[in-house]
Amino acid sequence: MSAPLRLMAVHAHPDDESSKGAATMARYVAEGVEVLVCTLTGGERGSILNPKMDRPDILENIGEVRRLEMERAREILGVQQRFLGFVDSGLPEDENEPLPEGCFALQPLEAAAAPLVAAVRDFRPHVILTYDDDGGYPHPDHIMTNKVSVEAFEAAGDPDRYPGTGEPWQPLKLYYHMGFTRERFEALHEAMVSRGLGSPYSDWIARWEDRPQKDRWPVTTRVPCGDYFEVRDQALIAHATQVDPDGFWFVCPREVQMEIWPTEDYHLARSLVDTELPEDDLFTGVLAEEASPACH
């Protein structure tokens, strides 16, 4: 029997895995793919974004609370998960404000990438998911997550790099999350307006031209996963300090999303296998038989 396919998703904070690519992961888990989420920081400097959870006792223990939330979301998604041990950088209100000493975003690249290289060599993923070089949005930890993900993809297969972090393993494909595209939001906006529902997306669309990297990375891959949107939503709600169940994420009815936009979308940033674009499967061109290190 051939070895299973393996997918690694690299994220900055607990809850990012549930807001980006969660339905994709749940679908692949259901199909027998091994999925590992690597969470680079503990989210220790995160704010409480759900007003129902805004209590002093929770804020004082936010790091531990978020770890427990991550464990619950992991169970819901059916994935494996590892914290890689860095400290949340926070999101400065002023772009000129210095970041806290010792935080993830200030680490030298090799120090920041080494634990991820070790995780790649241990888990041996065929496909890695991460953010684009703007981080999806310009949070310093998200931008650094892109940097270490690209570094790990390019270095993990090289026996001369990162000695002491395990046997070399070369992933075959690297994708960027493209879930927050103008095309998607306009489609959902029009669908809600046509149904007489109030749309939460008007301001987002109106501000689109102000995004510095808008439309830089074209969508190459749309993964059908609407049947797993409910699992995604349950995983999001598990991050109770970060996600208000009556908030933005849930304004558009799930059935509308499943009808209008039943995919999660990606940009293929690196590929060492032949594929034909557009794709509807992250593993296009990847065979389970390639799981042996001898193939790399």
Is 142 within any annotated ligand binding site? yes
pLDDT in tens, 13-45: 999 999 999 999 999 999 999 999 999 999 999
Q: Is residue 205 part of a domain?
A: no
Residues 6+ away with beta carbon under 8 Å from 148: 10, 40, 109, 112, 113, 116
Residue range of the domain that includes 262: 6-180+216-295
Q: Is residue 106 part of a domain?
A: yes
How many separate domains does the chain show?
1
Asked if residue 38 lies in contact with residue 119, where contact means CB atoms within 8 angstroms, the answer is yes
CATH number at residue 50: 3.40.50.10320
pLDDT at 287: 73
Q: Is residue 49 part of a domain?
A: yes
- The CA distance from 149 to 141, in Å, is 12
Is 239 within any annotated ligand binding site? no
pLDDT at 150: 98
Strand-pairing partners, residue 81, are 37
Asked if residue 242 lies in contact with residue 46, where contact means CB atoms within 8 angstroms, the answer is yes
pLDDT at 253: 95
pLDDT at 295: 41
Q: Is residue 1 part of a domain?
A: no
Q: Is residue 109 part of a domain?
A: yes
0.85 cut: is pTM over it?
A: yes
- The CA distance from 131 to 148, in Å, is 10
pLDDT in tens, 108-131: 999 999 999 999 999 999 999 999
pLDDT at 286: 95
Q: Is residue 36 part of a domain?
A: yes
- The CA distance from 241 to 230, in Å, is 19
Q: Is residue 200 part of a domain?
A: no
The residue ranges of the chain whose pLDDT is under 50 are 1, 288-289, 291-296
> In this structure, is the dihedral angle defined by the CA atoms of residues 164, 168, 169 and 170, taken in order, positive or negative?
positive
Is 139 within any annotated ligand binding site? no
